[in-house]
Amino acid sequence: MTFTGLIGRICLFPLELIIKTSVALKIHPNILTFVGLLINVAAAWALAVGAFVPAGGIMIVGNIFDYIDGKVANELNAVSAFGGFWDSVIDRFSDLSLFIGLIYLYSSMHRTDYVIVAALTMMFAIMTSYTRARAESLIKKCKVGFMERPERIVLFMIGAFTNRMAAVLWVILVLSVFTVADRIIYTYRELREPQVAA
Amino acid sequence: MSQNTPLPLRILWNAFFWTYERATWQYDLMVIAILAFVWLTPPSWLGDPMAGGSGPIGWILEQLR
Protein backbone atom coordinates (compact mmCIF):
# COMPACT_ATOMS: atom_id res chain seq x y z
CA MET A 1 0.00 0.00 0.00
CA THR A 2 1.23 3.52 -0.79
CA PHE A 3 1.70 6.25 1.84
CA THR A 4 -1.23 8.35 0.57
CA GLY A 5 -3.39 5.22 0.31
CA LEU A 6 -2.70 4.43 3.99
CA ILE A 7 -3.66 7.97 5.06
CA GLY A 8 -6.88 7.64 3.06
CA ARG A 9 -7.77 4.39 4.87
CA ILE A 10 -7.08 5.89 8.32
CA CYS A 11 -9.29 8.93 7.55
CA LEU A 12 -12.09 6.65 6.36
CA PHE A 13 -12.87 5.25 9.84
CA PRO A 14 -14.37 8.41 11.44
CA LEU A 15 -16.02 9.30 8.12
CA GLU A 16 -17.86 5.96 8.02
CA LEU A 17 -19.27 6.74 11.47
CA ILE A 18 -20.51 10.18 10.38
CA ILE A 19 -22.04 8.68 7.21
CA LYS A 20 -23.90 6.05 9.28
CA THR A 21 -25.21 8.77 11.64
CA SER A 22 -26.41 10.93 8.73
CA VAL A 23 -28.12 7.94 7.13
CA ALA A 24 -29.80 7.03 10.45
CA LEU A 25 -31.08 10.61 10.78
CA LYS A 26 -32.15 10.53 7.08
CA ILE A 27 -30.54 13.91 6.37
CA HIS A 28 -31.00 14.80 2.69
CA PRO A 29 -27.62 14.84 0.89
CA ASN A 30 -28.36 18.21 -0.76
CA ILE A 31 -28.73 19.74 2.71
CA LEU A 32 -25.37 18.24 3.74
CA THR A 33 -23.81 19.81 0.64
CA PHE A 34 -25.23 23.23 1.51
CA VAL A 35 -24.15 22.96 5.17
CA GLY A 36 -20.65 22.21 3.86
CA LEU A 37 -20.74 25.49 1.92
CA LEU A 38 -21.81 27.48 5.00
CA ILE A 39 -18.95 25.95 7.00
CA ASN A 40 -16.49 26.77 4.20
CA VAL A 41 -17.71 30.37 4.24
CA ALA A 42 -16.88 30.42 7.97
CA ALA A 43 -13.42 29.07 7.10
CA ALA A 44 -13.04 31.83 4.51
CA TRP A 45 -13.88 34.42 7.17
CA ALA A 46 -11.23 32.91 9.47
CA LEU A 47 -8.69 33.11 6.64
CA ALA A 48 -9.70 36.72 5.98
CA VAL A 49 -8.86 37.71 9.56
CA GLY A 50 -5.60 35.75 9.48
CA ALA A 51 -6.76 33.04 11.91
CA PHE A 52 -5.16 30.23 9.93
CA VAL A 53 -5.28 27.39 12.46
CA PRO A 54 -9.02 27.84 13.23
CA ALA A 55 -9.58 28.17 9.46
CA GLY A 56 -7.86 24.81 8.93
CA GLY A 57 -10.06 23.19 11.58
CA ILE A 58 -13.23 24.67 10.08
CA MET A 59 -12.14 23.51 6.61
CA ILE A 60 -11.81 19.94 7.89
CA VAL A 61 -15.39 20.02 9.21
CA GLY A 62 -16.72 21.66 6.03
CA ASN A 63 -15.05 19.14 3.78
CA ILE A 64 -16.32 16.21 5.82
CA PHE A 65 -19.81 17.35 4.78
CA ASP A 66 -18.59 17.73 1.24
CA TYR A 67 -17.19 14.19 1.22
CA ILE A 68 -20.09 12.41 2.86
CA ASP A 69 -22.97 13.89 0.82
CA GLY A 70 -22.41 11.50 -2.10
CA LYS A 71 -22.02 8.49 0.19
CA VAL A 72 -25.18 9.41 2.12
CA ALA A 73 -27.04 9.84 -1.19
CA ASN A 74 -25.99 6.29 -2.14
CA GLU A 75 -27.05 4.84 1.21
CA LEU A 76 -30.42 6.61 1.15
CA ASN A 77 -31.02 5.77 -2.54
CA ALA A 78 -31.32 9.51 -3.10
CA VAL A 79 -28.81 9.74 -5.97
CA SER A 80 -30.09 12.17 -8.60
CA ALA A 81 -28.77 14.11 -11.58
CA PHE A 82 -29.68 17.33 -9.81
CA GLY A 83 -27.73 16.20 -6.71
CA GLY A 84 -24.58 15.86 -8.83
CA PHE A 85 -25.16 19.26 -10.42
CA TRP A 86 -25.91 20.88 -7.03
CA ASP A 87 -22.75 19.35 -5.54
CA SER A 88 -20.55 20.70 -8.35
CA VAL A 89 -22.06 24.20 -8.16
CA ILE A 90 -21.74 24.37 -4.37
CA ASP A 91 -18.12 23.11 -4.60
CA ARG A 92 -17.27 26.09 -6.82
CA PHE A 93 -18.84 28.50 -4.33
CA SER A 94 -16.83 26.86 -1.52
CA ASP A 95 -13.59 27.14 -3.51
CA LEU A 96 -14.25 30.76 -4.41
CA SER A 97 -15.11 31.75 -0.86
CA LEU A 98 -11.78 30.42 0.48
CA PHE A 99 -9.85 32.37 -2.15
CA ILE A 100 -11.86 35.53 -1.47
CA GLY A 101 -10.96 35.15 2.22
CA LEU A 102 -7.25 35.11 1.32
CA ILE A 103 -7.61 37.99 -1.15
CA TYR A 104 -9.29 40.05 1.58
CA LEU A 105 -6.48 39.19 4.02
CA TYR A 106 -3.67 40.14 1.65
CA SER A 107 -5.41 43.30 0.49
CA SER A 108 -5.92 44.39 4.11
CA MET A 109 -2.14 43.89 4.53
CA HIS A 110 -1.52 46.01 1.39
CA ARG A 111 0.22 43.06 -0.27
CA THR A 112 -0.82 43.60 -3.87
CA ASP A 113 1.62 40.91 -5.03
CA TYR A 114 -0.17 38.20 -3.08
CA VAL A 115 -3.59 39.61 -3.98
CA ILE A 116 -2.59 38.91 -7.60
CA VAL A 117 -1.15 35.46 -6.76
CA ALA A 118 -4.34 34.49 -4.88
CA ALA A 119 -6.55 35.88 -7.68
CA LEU A 120 -4.61 34.00 -10.38
CA THR A 121 -4.74 30.82 -8.30
CA MET A 122 -8.49 31.28 -7.93
CA MET A 123 -8.84 31.75 -11.70
CA PHE A 124 -6.90 28.59 -12.56
CA ALA A 125 -8.61 26.57 -9.81
CA ILE A 126 -11.97 27.41 -11.35
CA MET A 127 -10.66 26.81 -14.88
CA THR A 128 -9.43 23.36 -13.76
CA SER A 129 -13.04 22.42 -12.99
CA TYR A 130 -14.47 24.22 -16.02
CA THR A 131 -12.10 22.62 -18.56
CA ARG A 132 -13.02 19.14 -17.30
CA ALA A 133 -16.75 19.86 -17.24
CA ARG A 134 -16.68 21.36 -20.75
CA ALA A 135 -14.40 18.62 -22.09
CA GLU A 136 -16.68 15.91 -20.74
CA SER A 137 -19.58 17.42 -22.69
CA LEU A 138 -17.53 16.63 -25.82
CA ILE A 139 -15.52 13.52 -24.89
CA LYS A 140 -16.14 10.62 -22.50
CA LYS A 141 -13.61 11.44 -19.77
CA CYS A 142 -11.03 14.14 -19.13
CA LYS A 143 -9.37 13.13 -15.87
CA VAL A 144 -5.82 14.31 -16.45
CA GLY A 145 -3.71 16.76 -14.46
CA PHE A 146 -2.60 16.58 -10.84
CA MET A 147 -4.24 19.55 -9.12
CA GLU A 148 -7.87 18.57 -8.65
CA ARG A 149 -10.17 19.77 -5.88
CA PRO A 150 -9.20 17.22 -3.16
CA GLU A 151 -5.49 18.07 -3.61
CA ARG A 152 -6.32 21.78 -3.48
CA ILE A 153 -8.33 21.45 -0.29
CA VAL A 154 -5.71 19.30 1.48
CA LEU A 155 -3.02 21.81 0.48
CA PHE A 156 -5.16 24.66 1.80
CA MET A 157 -5.42 22.83 5.14
CA ILE A 158 -1.67 22.17 5.24
CA GLY A 159 -1.01 25.84 4.48
CA ALA A 160 -3.41 26.93 7.20
CA PHE A 161 -2.21 24.55 9.93
CA THR A 162 1.50 25.11 9.29
CA ASN A 163 1.24 28.80 8.34
CA ARG A 164 2.76 28.27 4.91
CA MET A 165 -0.10 29.67 2.82
CA ALA A 166 2.12 31.59 0.39
CA ALA A 167 4.04 28.44 -0.60
CA VAL A 168 0.76 26.55 -0.90
CA LEU A 169 -0.70 29.24 -3.18
CA TRP A 170 2.34 29.03 -5.47
CA VAL A 171 2.06 25.22 -5.64
CA ILE A 172 -1.67 25.35 -6.39
CA LEU A 173 -1.14 28.08 -8.99
CA VAL A 174 1.67 26.36 -10.92
CA LEU A 175 0.08 22.89 -10.84
CA SER A 176 -3.36 24.30 -11.75
CA VAL A 177 -1.85 26.01 -14.80
CA PHE A 178 -0.36 22.62 -15.81
CA THR A 179 -3.67 20.85 -15.11
CA VAL A 180 -5.63 23.28 -17.29
CA ALA A 181 -3.01 22.90 -20.05
CA ASP A 182 -3.16 19.07 -19.71
CA ARG A 183 -6.91 19.10 -20.13
CA ILE A 184 -6.78 21.35 -23.18
CA ILE A 185 -4.09 19.17 -24.80
CA TYR A 186 -5.92 15.94 -23.89
CA THR A 187 -9.25 17.21 -25.26
CA TYR A 188 -7.60 18.45 -28.45
CA ARG A 189 -6.00 15.03 -29.00
CA GLU A 190 -9.21 13.14 -28.24
CA LEU A 191 -11.28 15.30 -30.59
CA ARG A 192 -8.65 14.92 -33.34
CA GLU A 193 -9.06 11.12 -33.20
CA PRO A 194 -11.72 9.76 -35.57
CA GLN A 195 -14.96 9.35 -33.58
CA VAL A 196 -16.10 5.72 -33.16
CA ALA A 197 -19.83 5.30 -33.76
CA ALA A 198 -21.68 4.04 -30.70
CA MET B 1 5.86 10.58 -26.18
CA SER B 2 8.02 8.03 -28.01
CA GLN B 3 10.23 5.46 -26.27
CA ASN B 4 13.29 6.95 -28.04
CA THR B 5 12.97 10.19 -26.06
CA PRO B 6 15.68 10.53 -23.36
CA LEU B 7 14.57 9.43 -19.88
CA PRO B 8 14.90 12.87 -18.17
CA LEU B 9 12.69 14.41 -20.86
CA ARG B 10 10.16 11.59 -20.49
CA ILE B 11 10.09 12.08 -16.69
CA LEU B 12 9.54 15.82 -17.14
CA TRP B 13 6.79 15.25 -19.70
CA ASN B 14 5.04 12.68 -17.47
CA ALA B 15 5.20 15.10 -14.53
CA PHE B 16 3.75 17.87 -16.69
CA PHE B 17 1.19 15.75 -18.54
CA TRP B 18 -0.10 14.03 -15.41
CA THR B 19 -2.16 10.87 -16.00
CA TYR B 20 -1.42 8.88 -12.83
CA GLU B 21 -4.13 7.88 -10.38
CA ARG B 22 -4.08 8.66 -6.64
CA ALA B 23 -2.34 6.14 -4.35
CA THR B 24 0.34 5.23 -6.90
CA TRP B 25 4.08 5.62 -6.23
CA GLN B 26 4.24 8.46 -8.77
CA TYR B 27 1.51 10.27 -6.83
CA ASP B 28 3.36 9.74 -3.54
CA LEU B 29 6.55 11.12 -5.09
CA MET B 30 4.70 14.24 -6.26
CA VAL B 31 3.17 14.70 -2.78
CA ILE B 32 6.64 14.42 -1.17
CA ALA B 33 8.04 17.01 -3.62
CA ILE B 34 5.15 19.39 -2.89
CA LEU B 35 5.44 19.01 0.89
CA ALA B 36 9.21 19.50 0.69
CA PHE B 37 8.68 22.74 -1.21
CA VAL B 38 5.96 23.98 1.17
CA TRP B 39 7.77 23.16 4.40
CA LEU B 40 11.43 23.58 3.48
CA THR B 41 11.36 26.79 1.44
CA PRO B 42 12.18 29.75 3.71
CA PRO B 43 9.04 31.98 3.79
CA SER B 44 11.22 35.05 3.18
CA TRP B 45 12.24 33.66 -0.24
CA LEU B 46 8.58 33.80 -1.26
CA GLY B 47 7.88 37.06 0.59
CA ASP B 48 5.20 35.27 2.63
CA PRO B 49 3.11 38.01 4.30
CA MET B 50 2.01 35.76 7.18
CA ALA B 51 4.66 33.12 7.94
CA GLY B 52 7.25 33.84 10.60
CA GLY B 53 10.75 32.41 10.94
CA SER B 54 13.07 31.34 8.21
CA GLY B 55 11.97 27.70 7.90
CA PRO B 56 14.23 24.62 8.08
CA ILE B 57 16.43 25.65 5.10
CA GLY B 58 16.88 29.14 6.54
CA TRP B 59 17.76 27.64 9.93
CA ILE B 60 20.43 25.40 8.35
CA LEU B 61 21.86 28.37 6.40
CA GLU B 62 21.99 30.42 9.63
CA GLN B 63 23.85 27.62 11.38
CA LEU B 64 26.37 27.39 8.55
CA ARG B 65 27.16 31.12 8.69
Mutate to test the interface with A, among B16, B19, B20, B38 (most CBs of A within 10 A): B38
Select from A30, A129, A38, A130 the least CA-distant residue to A83: A30
Is the model's pLDDT at A197 over the cut of 60? Answer: no
Longest dimension (CA), chain B: 47
pLDDT tens sequence across A68-114:
888 899 888 889 999 999 999 999 999 999 999 999 999 999 999 99
Per-residue pLDDT band for B52 (boundaries 50, 70, 90) equals confident
Of A44, A45, A85, A94, residue with least CA distance to A65: A94
- Answer yes or no: pTM beyond 0.95: no
Best residue in B22, B39, B41 for a mutation probing chain A (most A CBs within 10 Å): B22
Residue B36 sits at the chain A interface (C-beta within 8 Å): no
Q: What is the ipTM of this complex?
A: 0.85
User: Sign of the C-alpha dihedral, residues B26, B27, B30, B35?
Assistant: negative
Our measurement of the distance from residue A25's CA atom to the centroid of its chain's CA atoms, rounded to an integer in Å, reads: 26
Collapsing DSSP to helix, strand or coil, A145 comes out as coil
